[in-house]
Amino acid sequence: MRRWLSICALLTAGPLGAAGSVDLTADFVSQYVFRGQSLRQGVSVQPTLHYDLLDNLSLALWANFRLANSLAVSETDYSVQWTALTLRPAALTLGGVVYDRGTNLGLRSTSELFGGLDFDVPGRPAVYLWYDCAQRTGLYAELSARQRWLLADYRGTVDLGAALGFDAGRVNGFHDARLSLGFTRHLGDWQLRPSVDLHFPAAAVDAQGFQPVFRVSATRSF
């Protein structure tokens, strides 16, 4: 949600930020789920540091701190992305991410290249492709949409999102689905967002099936 770039957060980013700006986010999650698969980490804190190097070029650092059983950093991701707004009403994003994972996650450290289009129309549809070029060679595709409703008296928004993931080269077909519902509240320089993510993985991805994840996010821009 920016270790050099938080895959989940930054790949669905909105308008480009100003050069030199920094975003700091801390997510408190009930469990770590990656593309529908529970990584059996229990309660975790997932901090993200996102830096806009240029108006259209950003770097990010993301980590997963496991709180259950024993404190440990189980993953660190480093990412970079470049976004162009020359395809209106769509924005083109290209980038790469390195996943530095511990041995207890059940997933190997690897790297991916990604690209996608975000459409500036109602529902904010987006389509992204990730290519694993290091370990389990394959292509992951995600179709997503999100909508936000303003709550003027609440000084915040209601946020609804949905996504479908497909895989070629490993699962070869439907991979996972996700529904998200959250409430964003502006508190001075901070944004506070409690939410729930409902994950529906294919049986080949996670035999446990349906995974609810409860999340509280705090974000500040500098």
Domain edges within the chain: 7-221
Query: With 90 as the cut, is the pLDDT of residue 70 above it?
Result: no
Q: Between 154 and 165, whose confidence is greater?
A: 165
- pLDDT exceeds 80 at position 40: yes
Cis, bond preceding 89 (omega within 30 deg of 0) = yes
Q: Does residue 25 register a pLDDT over 80?
A: yes
> Does pLDDT of 62 surpass 50?
yes
Euclidean distance between CA atoms 206 and 64, whole angstroms? 20
- pLDDT at site 14: 40
CA 125 centroid distance within chain:
15
- Assigned fold of 7-221: Porin (2.40.160)
Percent of the chain with pLDDT over 90: 71
pLDDT of residue 1 exceeding 70, the answer is: no
pLDDT, residue 123, reads: 96
Beta bridge partners of 27: 46, 217
Confidence band for 19, pLDDT divided at 50, 70 and 90: confident
